Structure formats: structure tokens, C-alpha cells
Structure 1
């Protein structure tokens, strides 16, 4: 009797097991493939993040505030009437604003009218000297640019980029404010605004309205 009951129980359990839902083998295989694919994607993304260069950093001035401004002698190709070269050291005794620019630089072009206005109001009267330095454009384009924007401050040409290198120029416009002793007192690595110009000139002892 016990044997018969046990046999019946085994049959019943077997039937119940047979009725349990089965996951198709194809579905199991698909799930496995999806899992492995997801792992591969995650590994690939991790490797990509590791190998990619870090985000671009904000340009840093090559000559720190408080350091002596590197001397240079460059020819005038536009702006001023003079055709002789300008030497920075010869301008000692007066503050100098050195603006690095390029004709193809939109912020550079946008700030030129403001620079010209400030130059006409203050620099042309001897309060400070404003110099524009270009190294990226053809020589003839610099003179044309000066005429187009009616620039009267000297536009200098850094033919071999030696001055740009000495000042660590990595982006334009970049503007250095140098005091009468030839020391860098402020640097702007963006388009000059009235506020930035006022702050830069104040750093070299020139006060102008905002």
C-alpha cells in the first residue's frame, strides 16, 4: 500500500513539474546574448572615456601677472602712419596695452571699434600706448583691415610668431596690460568689454569711465 501511494505521489509530482512553464531555449540564448552585449558596450564606453583627452581647458596667459613683459621689435603694417618698427622696451615710462588679434577672429573684429574709440580718447593723448599684434594673416591684409576699421593705433606683424610664443598666446583675442616699468599687471583672454578695459587700465594706473 505504501509503495502504491509513493508511486502515485511520484507520478503526480512528475505531472506537476511537466506542467510548469518552460523558457524556450531560443529565448534563453537571446537573453544571454543581450547580457553579453550590454557588458561589451559598458566596457567599450569605459575604454572610450579613459582614452579620450580631457575637456579643453580655459587658455592660460603665458606671462603671469607680476612678471616682466618680454621685449619685442615688430614692424608696423597698418593703423598708424609711421612705417618704422616699434620696440616695447622703448616705450618704458608709459603703460602699454598689447592686443593679440586675427582678422578671422570674430571677437577680435567685434572689439576693434571699441579699442579704436578708447585709443582716440586716451591713448592718442599719451596716457598709454595701444598696440595690436597679428601673426596669422597675410601682410597685405593687415593694412586693409586697418583701413576698413579706420584703425589709427599701430597694427604690428609678428611674422615668425616669436612674440606670440613668448607671450604664450593660445587664443585670440588676448590682451596684456603692462605698466610703465614693463611689468604685466593684468591679462584678458577674451573679447574686451568696457568693464574689462577699465579694470585692466586701472591695474596699470589709468582710470577711465566704465
Structure 2
């Protein structure tokens, strides 16, 4: 086979490959839209109610790794806090009680945004308030940034499908928070 025929065959194979790739790529958003219509679940990721929660994994204070993102057995509440935050201090005992009361249907992950705190102070906070739910340290603030964090505390309620139900800035009364948790954890 001469060089011109080889070149023509190579160009034709490349054109066919690009054509197949284009068709496949253009078909994918339609499949995502059909999935969303059939299941009612979002396929978009972002720090907003109705979207899939941005995924992350962090090491806990007892060296276990905890992850958020995708489907899970229980709903999860991600609590971003800092040790110097007065509302975080007031909320800590309530979160302990809620974690115990709803442990069968809800995980609570406490995330100290260490980039805005001092890790030894955060460790003292955990001991002082006898935090019983898993706590992690967001050393560089990367996870807080993924959720567009702006205030302490910030609580993110995520359902079993990995979809954000609500982002709560500041504190709520225990009764208000429990209403939201009951709604989040209903089948």
C-alpha cells in the first residue's frame, strides 16, 4: 500500500472516530435529562438545595476517613464550625442530643474549618462539649469552600440520594432543626 492510501485511511479513521465521539457526547445530556425526569434526582453538583452535594473525604479526629457524595444508607448533616464561634458553642450540646436521637437514620459530621481556627483549640472544643459524632479537620478550608461557606455554623442537610435538601446559615432552635431532620429522613 502506498503512502497516500495509508494517509487517506488514517484521516478517514480519525474523522469517523471524531464523528462517533461527537454523537456520543451530544447524546449524554439527553440521557441525564431522562434520568432526572424519571427519578426526580439532580445530576448537577453544587452547593445549593436540589443539587448533588459536592463530594469530599476527610480524616476524622480518631483517624477514620469519612466521605460525603453519592448515595448512602442514611441522610447526613454536615456541620461546619469553629471553636471561637459562640453560636457553635451553643449548638454543640443540641447536636450531640440530635445525633444520638436520630442515629438510625442520620449521620452528623462535624467539620472544624481549621483554616479559620487553631487545631488545638478545636480539639479542646471537642473534649469540652464531649462531641460524640465524627469530627474532622478541614485544614486548608477546601471543603468549606466547596460549599461556598461564609458563616459559622453552617449546616448542610443531605438526603440518602446525595442531594442537598437545605443549607442552614447560623443556628436554629432544636425544634426547628428536628422538623427539618424529620422531613429529610422520611422515606
Q: Could you state the TM-score of these two structures normalised by the residue count of structure 2?
A: 0.69
Structure 2 unaligned spans of 5+: 1-45
**Deviation at residue 206 of structure 1 after TM alignment:** 4.4
Distance 1:67 1:140 in 2: 35
Partner of 1:166: 146
Distance 1:68 1:91 in 2: 10
Distance 2:71 2:125 in 1: 25
| Aligned pairs (5 A) from 1:56-205 | 63-77=47-61, 82-89=62-69, 92-123=72-103, 126-135=104-113, 136-205=116-185
Cα deviation, 1:72-117, whole Å, max 9, x if unaligned, reads 111112xxxx421211137713100011111111011001111111
Partner of 2:17: none
- On the 8 A contact 2:55/2:70 being kept in 1, the answer is no
Distance 1:92 1:177 in 2: 13
Distance 2:185 2:166 in 1: 11
Which runs of structure 1 show a deviation greater than 4 angstroms over 4 or more consecutive aligned residues? none
- On the 8 A contact 1:186/1:203 being kept in 2, the answer is no
CA RMSD of aligned residues (A): 1.9
Aligned length: 140
Q: Could you state the TM-score of these two structures normalised by the residue count of structure 1?
A: 0.62
Of the two, which has the highest radius of gyration? 1
- The answer to which structure has the higher strand fraction is 2
